[in-house]
């Protein structure tokens, strides 16, 4: 006789699915790159946003060479009160580096970066000589 309890659910594979889902959440969190970034562009420029909560502006470095933007820095661990014990620690701390290949060459003099509310916004202007140009067609 089968009992439907928490130990013996009606679906014998329910426990396996829950375990699999839990492992998926753990590995997804562990493998996600830091910081999370978004990149978009138009004909004039590209924009990059990076989520950097808890990172001080003076501990962030943004470098550009050719068409690669490198974002690096450090998020410091909070000071633990003496005798305190972690119950959950999901936020990573330490050094980070992300190299982002941009869709065009970059003029380092046309890059702006601003940090507000834990979000770093970087605007990268496309060099004039690399911008697409519309060619006029003359009638014969």
CA distance 117 to 51: 9
**Residues in CB range of 119: below 8 A, 6 or more apart:** 49, 50, 51, 52
The answer on pLDDT for 108 being more than 80 is: yes
Domain total in the chain:
2
Q: What are phi and psi of 25, to 5 degrees?
A: -65, -40
Per-residue pLDDT, 66 = 84
Instruction: Band the pLDDT of 2: cuts 50, 70, 90.
Output: low
Residue listed under structure tokens 């978004």: 38
Instruction: Band the pLDDT of 64: cuts 50, 70, 90.
Output: very high
The answer on pLDDT for 1 being more than 60 is: no
* Domain residue limits at 121: 33-77+94-129
pTM of whole model > 0.75? no
66 and 117 inside one domain:
yes
Per-residue pLDDT, 53 = 92
Hey, what are 39's tokens? 């990149």
Residue listed under structure tokens 């830091």: 34
69 and 20 inside one domain:
no
> Is position 88 within any domain?
no
């Amino acid at each position: 006789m089968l009992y439907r309890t928490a130990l013996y659910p009606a679906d014998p594979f329910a426990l396996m699915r829950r375990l699999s889902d839990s492992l998926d959440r753990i590995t997804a969190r562990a493998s996600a790159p830091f910081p999370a970034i978004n990149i978009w562009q138009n004909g004039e420029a590209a924009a990059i946003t990076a989520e950097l909560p808890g990172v001080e502006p003076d501990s962030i470095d943004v470098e550009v060479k050719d068409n690669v933007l490198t974002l690096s820095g450090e998020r410091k661990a909070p000071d633990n009160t003496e005798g305190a014990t972690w119950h959950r620690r999901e936020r990573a701390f330490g050094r980070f580096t992300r190299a982002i290949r941009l869709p065009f060459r970059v003029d380092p003099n046309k890059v702006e970066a601003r940090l507000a509310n834990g979000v770093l916004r970087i605007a990268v202007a496309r060099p004039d000589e690399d911008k697409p140009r519309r060619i006029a067609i003359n009638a014969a």
